[in-house]
Structure 1
C-alpha cells in the first residue's frame, strides 16, 4: 500500500514538474538554460556600466518600503523618488509594480545589479528567485554565493543577489534607447501589449532581446518567471504599465478582459488534463519497473549516506591549525593549548595555512611586498591576498564567531579568509586583498603608494568617488549597528581601515578585531566619551566616521600640526569644522575643501557633507545621527547627482588610472 502511494505521488510530482518546467526551469538551481546566469556582456560591444531600472511586483515578503529596505537592501529614498511616493508612503498593495533603480555592471561576462539580501529562516535560493519573479535565478544566486548552502537558510544570512539587467550598446543609444528596463514576465503578457504599455515598438523589443538572449529568445508564448528587456527613451513611469491601454470596441473593458482570461484558463486547464492522462498511461505501462528500482537504490543509498554523515560529523568537530592543534573559532578566549574545543554551530569561512605557504606567498616577507606596517601582499593559488602579521597571543582576541555565512559576504566589509597560527611569537591573518589600497593612501599618500602598489602620486579621488566611498562606509556601519544582533561596535574606524577594491568600492577593514585594537585607536578619531568615561557604543563609530567625512572633504589628516612662535600646536579636524561653520564664511569653507578637486564638485553638496560631519562629531553622543540616518542623507546626495544627469557615481576609474604592481593586477580578487 505504501509503495503504491509513493508510486502515485511520484507520478503526480513528475506531471507537475513536466507541466510547469517551461516557466520554472529558468529559476531552477539546475537550470541548463544559457540565460540562467543573466544577460551576457561584451566589452567590445556594450557599455560596461549604466544606471537602469527593473520592475518588482509586491508580494507577502515585500509589501512595504521597510521590508524592501531591510531584506533587499534597497534604499527607501531611492524607491520613493523612482516611484513618486510621498514621504508618508510605507505599506504597498499586493501585486503592485514597483520601479527599482539598478546599478548595472558587466562582471565576469554577465550583466548584473547586485543587491544585498538579508534572509528569513528557512528560505532557499530557489524561493528567493521565486519571490523576485524572474529578476534573478537560483543558479545566478548560487554562482554569486558559492560557499553558502542553497537550501534551509538561517535567519539574517547576508546574500549577494545578482539581479538581471543589461546596458545598451552605443548603436542602440544612437537609436534613442537610453536604457533597458528589466521586466519580469507575468501570465498573459504579449510583446505587442508591452510595446503599447511602454510606448515602444515590437521590433525594438525583439531586437534587444535577441541581442541579449540569442537563439533562446522566443517571440511567441513568453514564459512567466523569465525576464524581458524593454528599450526605453527615458525613465519609466508607473502609470504607463499599471493600466495597459485597451482598444475601445463599445464593450466594458473589464468584461472583455474577464472573458478572455476565462477562456484562456479553460483552454489551458483542458490541455493539462489531456497531457496528464497521456503521461499517466505512459508511466503506468513503461515506467513502473524503473520506479521500484529507483526506490531500491534510494534505500541502499540512504544507508551509505548516513554512514558517511557520521564520519563527517566526527571530522567537523574542530579546525586544525598548522601545528595540528584544534582551535575553536567561536569567539572564545581559550588558549591554544592543544585541547579539542567544540566547534561553533555556524558555518565558517576561515581557512588555515601553513607558515611555508605564507612565506612562499610573500616571497619570504620581501620588503617589496610590504603594504604598510605589518601587512604584506601575497599570492596563494594565483589569488591576491593581504597577509597581516600579529602576535600569536592576540589571535584569541579575534571574534571568529562573526565570520560565518551571515557576514562573510557583506560587500562593504573586508573578508577574513584564513589564519596561520604558529607556536612562535608571531602568527598571521589572511584577508581579502584591496587592489586600490586604503582611503588614507589616496587622501594623504600612504606607504602603499611609495611601494608602487599605487605608483602615480598624481592620482586623486573625484568628488563622486568620495561621495560613494562615504556611502559605502556608512552602509557597513548601518549593518553593524542596526542589523547585526547583538550590535557590533567596530571601535577603530579610520581612513587607514577603509580599503578600496579595483572598482573603488569601499570596504571596512579590521572587522571582528575590536578587542585587538583597544590601545591602537588613532589620534583624532577617538570620541570624547572614550577619553573621559571609556564608553563603548555605536556613537563612537559615528564620531570616527564624521572625522573620515572631514578628511574626504578637506584632504587633510585628522590632526594637523601647526607651527607657532611658542612651539607646535595641534588642530583637530573635528574642532576646525565647528569654527568654520560657526563663522558662516562661505569663502573660508571653499578654501578648506581639498584643492585637488579644483572646481569639479558641487559646493552645495560640500556644505551638506560638512554639516553632516559636524553633527557626527558632536560632543554629546545623543546629538549624533545614527548610521541609518547617515545612509539616508548620503543616499540623497548620491541620488541628486544622478538626477542632475552628471557622471555615474559608482566609477571604476579615478582622475587617472593607478599603476598597480604587475603581479598584483594579473588576477582579480
Structure 2
C-alpha cells in the first residue's frame, strides 16, 4: 500500500510504502515541493502515471482513496491557510503521481531479488487476457512434465505436449511452453510473449489459449501443431521418427503463409511488431501443413513514432538469421525481420541448414546460392530430395526472393507487402544482381527510416565495405 501526504503549509511531500495495511513511521520519500506557484488559480486533474525505465511490466492500480483536509478561510490565517487549502486540494493527487513513479523504480530495483517479479501482478485482471490455467491441471496434463512429453527445447525453456479440459469438458491436446526458471530474462520473455501474442489475430500465427503463473513457474498454453516445427521436416535429426520429405506444394504454401504472417505484423496490425527471431524452429505446421509463426518471446511492438527496437541487454537472435547491419546498430527493424525471412526461404527451397560461418550475417548456403545465380544455374540449389518434382518457375521465384531478402543493405530488401505480392503471383520476381552486393556502412537509408541507420557520431561515419565472398 502507498500513503502520500502533502503539507501545503510546510511545502513538503511524504510517501510511505508497506506490504500490508499498516502505515510505517518512516517515509520512503520526504522532499520539499511547492505547488502553489504552479497550480494557484488553475484547474487540476487527478491521474496515475509511472515508468519502469528500460524494463517493462504489467502494473495494476487495484484501489485508491484520497482524503482532502478542508480548512476554513479566516482573516487571521492569511496566506498560510490559503496556501494550505490549495496544497491539500490539488497537491495530494499530484503527489500521488510522483509516488507511483517512485514505486515503479523501487519495484524494478527489488525485482532481481524476487523469486518471480510477476508475483505482485494480477494478470487475470488485465482486460482481454486468455484463460488462466491451474498449475495442477497442466502438471497432470504433461504427466508431471515428463521428458517423454517434450516437444522441443530452446534458450527460452521447454515445450511439452499436454491434454487438458476444453470447452464443454472435452479433452484437447495443447502445447505448454515452460520458461526457464524465474530469472529476470525469463520473466521479460514471458510478459513480452503474453502481451503481444494475446492481441494478435491471424490464421498464420500460433494461437494462444491461456497462461499460468503459480509456484514461481511461468507457462503459456498454445494450440498443438500436429506436424511440429518446420526444421524437423527440413533437417531431420537422428533419433527422430522418419517423416516424408515436404513436397514442393507444401514448401511453397509454408513460405507464403509465413510471408502473410510477416505482412500482418509489419503492416496490418495496429502497431508494427518486430519478431526478431525468424527461423524454421519457430515456424509450426498444423494438420494441413499450413505455417503458423510462433515464439514471440523476443518480439516487440513499436510505438507509432518508432521504426526500430534496441535491446540494451545485447543482440538477440540466431547467427545466420541476423541481418548484418544489426551488428553495427544493435537495432531490430522490419528490414532485419525480412533478412531472417530470406534465410528461411532459402532453407525451404534448398533443404539445407543456413549454418553461419561468419558473424557479419553471411552463410555458406547464401554464398553458394549467389554463386549459382551468377553462373546462371540457380535451380541447382533446389533440394535434391525432391528428385526434380517441383515447379521450376516457382522455385526460381522463391530463390530470387530469398536472395533479394538477404541483400546486405537493408534499403534494398523488399518489404513484407511486396513479398506477399510476389508469392501470390501478383507481382513479378524481384530483380537480383548477378553477384552478391558488397555490404556498405552506413547503409542506404530507407525512406521514412532516417534514424535507423546512422552510425552515432560524425567521427565514425566512414564507409565499411565487405567483400561479396567472405571466405
**Interval of TM-score (by shorter of Structure 1 and Structure 2):** 0.5 to 0.7
What is the match of residue 473 of structure 1? 258
Indicate the residue corresponding to 2:21 in structure 1.
Answer: none
Query: Is 2:362 the counterpart of 1:580?
Result: no
1:366 is aligned, of 137, 141, 146, to 146
Pairing partner for 1:510 from 263, 282, 295: 295
What does 1:461-500 align with in structure 2 at a 5 Å threshold?
461-500=246-285
Cα deviation digits, residues 126-185 of structure 1 (max 9, x gap)? xxxxxxxxxxxxxxxxxxxxxxxxxxxxxxxxxxxxxxxxxxxxxxxxxxxxxxxxxxxx
C-alpha contact 1:413 1:511 (8 A) present in aligned 2 = no
Q: Partner of 1:380 in structure 2?
A: 164
Equivalent-residue separation in structure 2 for 1:514 and 1:580 (angstroms): 34
Please give the TM-score of this superposition, normalised by the length of structure 1.
0.40
RMSD over aligned CA atoms reads 3.2
- Whole-Å separation in 2 of the counterparts to 1:339 and 1:443: 41
**Aligned runs of 1:266-277 on 2, under 5 Å?**
none
**What displacement does 1:418 show?**
1.8
Quote how far apart the aligned CAs of 1:551 are: 0.4
The alpha carbon displacement at 1:571 in A equals 4.3
Shift of 1:383: 0.9
Aligned to 1:336: 118
Task: Pick 1 or 2: higher relative contact order, CA cutoff 8 A, min separation 6.
Answer: 1
Which deviations, in whole Å up to 9, do the C-alpha atoms of 1:220-273 show, x marking residues without a partner? Answer: xxxxxxxxxxxxxxxxxxxxxxxxxxxxxxxxxxxxxxxxxxxxxxxxxxxxxx
Q: Residue 395 of structure 1 is aligned with which of 187, 190, 204? A: 187
C-alpha deviations, 1:368-421, integer Å up to 9, x for none?
Answer: 2111111111110111111111133423442333345x52x4111112222221
Q: Confirm whether residue 429 of structure 1 aligns to residue 220 of structure 2.
A: yes
When residues 410 and 639 of structure 1 are mapped into structure 2, their CA distance, relative to the original with a 3 A threshold, is farther
Distance in 2 separating the partners of 1:523 and 1:560? 6
Whole-angstrom CA distance in 1 between matches of 2:421 and 2:284: 22
User: Cα gap change, 1:596/1:339 in structure 2, threshold over 3 Å: closer, same or farther?
Assistant: closer
- For structure 2, the residue ranges without an aligned partner over 5 or more in a row are 1-59, 63-106, 112-116, 166-170, 301-310, 430-471
Residues 555, 593 of structure 1: 8 Å contact kept:
yes
Instruction: Give the C-alpha shift of residue 336 in structure 1.
Output: 2.2
Distance change (3 Å), C-alpha of 1:507 and 1:339: closer
Could you tell me how far apart the structure 2 residues matched to 1:639 and 1:529 are? Answer: 27
* Distance in 2 (alpha carbons) for counterparts of 1:420 and 1:518: 28
**Do the aligned partners of 2:163 and 2:174 also contact (CA within 8 Å) in 1?**
yes
Deviation at 1:347, TM superposition (A): 2.2
Deviation per CA, 1:1-27: give whole Å up to 9, x if none.
Answer: xxxxxxxxxxxxxxxxxxxxxxxxxxx
Mapped contact 1:440–1:446 kept (Cα < 8 A): no
How many correspondences in the alignment? Answer: 291
Confirm or deny: 8 A CA contact 1:435 1:501 kept in the other structure: yes
1:541 aligns with 2:337: yes
The answer for the alignment partner of 2:455 in structure 1 is none
Residue 498 of structure 1 deviates from its aligned partner by 0.5
Aligned partner of 2:317 in structure 1 is 521
- Provide closer, same or farther for how the CA distance between residues 492 and 339 of structure 1 changes in structure 2, counting only shifts above 3 A: closer
Q: What are structure 1's unaligned runs of at least 5 residues?
A: 1-315, 319-331, 562-569, 641-669
Give the Cα separation in 1 of the matches to 2:372 and 2:281. Answer: 26
Q: What's the counterpart of residue 303 of structure 2?
A: none
Is the CA contact (8 Å cut-off) linking 1:467 and 1:638 kept in structure 2? no
Contact 1:351 1:419 survives alignment (8 Å): yes
When normalised by structure 2's length, the TM-score is 0.56
Q: 1:613/1:505 Cα in 2 relative to 1: closer, same or farther (>3 Å)?
A: same
